[in-house]
Amino acid sequence: MLRARPNLKNKLSATLKSWLPILQSDPLEIEETLLNCAKDNPFVRVQSGMRTDFSSHKFYKPPKNALGDQIERLSVRPKSLHETLNEQLLPPLFPTPMSLKIATDIIENLNPEGYFEGDTQAQALNLGVEVADYEKVRQRFAYLDPPGVGACNLLESFAFQLAQHEELDTPTYELCARILKDLEQHQQHRHHPLYAKAMQVITSFKNPPALEFGESLPPIIPDILVLEEDGDISVQLNEGYYPKVVLEQGKIAADNGYLKEKLKEARDLVDALQMRHQTIQKIGLMLVEYQYDFFKGGAIKPMRLVDLAEEFGYAASTISRAISNKYLACNRGVFAIKSFFATALEGDVSNAAIKEFLLELINKEDKQHPMSDLKILELVEKQFGLKMVRRTITKYRKLLNIASSTERKKLYGMALDLT
């Protein structure tokens, strides 16, 4: 097993104050953390890792243009839903000051998904307009982008989106409109010659309408790269994004205690950054050792923070800080490091293995007769030889964003009708 070198542990007491915040920072935060630690220190210069040549940074098998897109996301703020809609409040849809006033009020009453959540009657009364006039303006949102915005519910959003399909011939458009009036009973139209075409249009609609305006997540930059070449696995740090601490050391008078202390702090900061690199590198090596089967295509095995902490000679809380907001990239994707610490259910069975098996069951299930949670429970217990309760399966299914058997049957039905 891997062991932490004693000198790393001995340095911990001298640099603990700066080491822990640096250890906990992710690649997008570490520069700011170092700048805070180096504040007012004349011997320290923090050299940014985010403003140097991005072409030299390493990422595990990046898709084409991914790095350029990532840089753009870091420097360009996309327009919000409200900004996008306000730019469209123009004639001929909104030709009068009153129509603009109503439209602005509607925008202010949209939820983040793009649905109208206001009380039409109350909003009209507040603006001093007729309810019919307020509603007339809201209906004009059917012609704005994103399609479906301003609707009160899912079916109205679909109707708004249908209104923008000007390319449809009249019979197909009318069939789509009839299906939307009772979408759950869409199969009653299956013998119509245009049914497949109409369902292709309807299944292309977005829900929620403002999907692309959802809160954008910051780019994920993994700290650890697990690379495989010719069957051999290696672990590297993604150091291309790391800032560097440069010592600007000059001559110090023997009696200048203040500058001597600042120089010591500067050296401690260099040591702290180096210790961060060493700690994360060792965590990567330990993960590959414990979870080797996963990196070869298998399931995640149970792994406890305390086991890793004992190997390092640190407290479990220190290791917890070390993996907080950290990610690992390998040939199976990008994973939060904390996801490798799967909870053991019984023996060598982890909850991650259960979830993976559940996904496999759903992918292979009979589309005409989807499995209930009870049936999945029976198969899981048989596969892993353990006892569970149905609500655990239900919880895992929901965590995996898998619909219930009843909902899946409806979804499968819609898909099969198009074949």
The predicted-structure confidence for 342-398, as pLDDT tens digits, reads as follows 554 555 556 777 888 898 899 889 888 899 999 998 998 888 777 777 888 888 888
Spatial separation of the C-alpha atoms in residues 150 and 130, rounded to whole Å: 18
Question: What is the DSSP secondary-structure string of 81-129?
Answer: HHHHHHTT--TTTS-SHHHHHHHHHHHHTB-TTS-B-S-HHHHHHHHT-
CB atoms closer than 10 angstroms to residue 67: 14
More confident residue, 299 or 134: 134
Q: What is the pLDDT of residue 132?
A: 95
More confident residue, 231 or 96: 96
Residue 275 contacts by C-beta under 8 Å, 6 or more apart in sequence? 8, 11, 12, 15, 19, 23
pLDDT tens for 229-243 read 888 899 999 887 788
Sign of CA dihedral 211, 216, 219, 222: negative
Spatial separation of the C-alpha atoms in residues 207 and 204, rounded to whole Å: 10
Beta strands in 194-310 (DSSP E): 224-229, 232-237, 244-247
Q: What is the pLDDT of residue 159?
A: 94
How large a percentage of the chain has pLDDT more than 90? 30
Spatial separation of the C-alpha atoms in residues 301 and 42, rounded to whole Å: 48
| Nearest alpha-carbon partner for 223 in 3, 4, 28 | 28
Once rounded to an integer, what is the mean pLDDT over residues 136-151?
95
Q: What is the pLDDT of residue 251?
A: 62
Spatial separation of the C-alpha atoms in residues 19 and 21, rounded to whole Å: 6
pLDDT tens for 157-204 read 999 999 999 889 999 999 999 999 888 788 899 899 999 999 999 988
pLDDT tens for 242-297 read 888 888 876 665 567 788 888 888 888 888 888 888 889 989 998 998 888 888 87
Greatest mean pLDDT among 29-43, 153-167, 391-405 lies in: 153-167
344-416 has which fold? Arc Repressor Mutant, subunit A (1.10.10)
Confidence band (pLDDT; 50, 70, 90) for 156?
Answer: very high
Domain residue ranges of the chain, discontinuous segments joined by +:
6-49+242-340, 81-213, 344-416
The model's pTM is: 0.47
Confidence band (pLDDT; 50, 70, 90) for 56?
Answer: very low
